[in-house]
C-alpha cells in the first residue's frame, strides 16, 4: 500500500519533472539560472519552473507524509 502512494509522484517526476531529458532537464536548468541571478528570466520561465517543479514538490510531500505516519505509528 505504501508503494502505491509513491507510484504517481515518481511517474510524474520521471516524465514531467525531468522533461525534456536532453541536453538537460528544464527544472535543473531553471534552478541553475535562478541561482546565477535569474538575469533575463521572464514570466514564462517562472511558469515553466513551476510546472516542472510541481511533481518534485508532490513527491517530497508524499515522502514526508509517509514518514510522519510511520513515526506516529511507532510512538503508539
pLDDT given for residue 63 in this prediction: 95
Q: Total structural domains in the chain?
A: 1
- Integer CA distances (angstroms), 67 to 51, 59, 70, 72, in order: 25, 12, 5, 9
Q: Which helix (H) or strand (E) holds 70?
A: helix 43-75
* Residue 25 near residue 54, CB atoms below 8 Å: no
Which domain range does residue 57 map to? Answer: 4-75
pLDDT tens digits along 9-52: 999 999 998 888 888 888 898 999 999 998 998 999 999 999 99
- Residue 76 pLDDT greater than 90, yes or no: no
Where does the pLDDT of residue 4 fall: very low under 50, low under 70, confident under 90, or very high at 90 and above? Answer: confident
Amino acid at each position: 500500500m505504501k508503494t502505491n502512494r509513491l507510484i504517481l509522484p515518481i511517474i510524474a517526476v520521471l516524465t514531467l519533472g525531468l522533461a525534456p531529458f536532453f541536453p538537460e532537464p528544464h527544472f535543473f536548468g531553471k534552478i541553475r539560472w535562478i541561482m546565477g541571478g535569474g538575469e533575463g528570466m521572464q514570466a514564462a520561465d517562472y511558469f515553466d519552473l513551476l510546472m516542472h517543479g510541481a511533481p518534485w514538490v508532490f513527491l517530497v510531500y508524499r515522502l514526508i507524509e509517509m514518514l510522519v505516519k510511520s513515526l506516529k505509528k511507532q510512538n503508539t
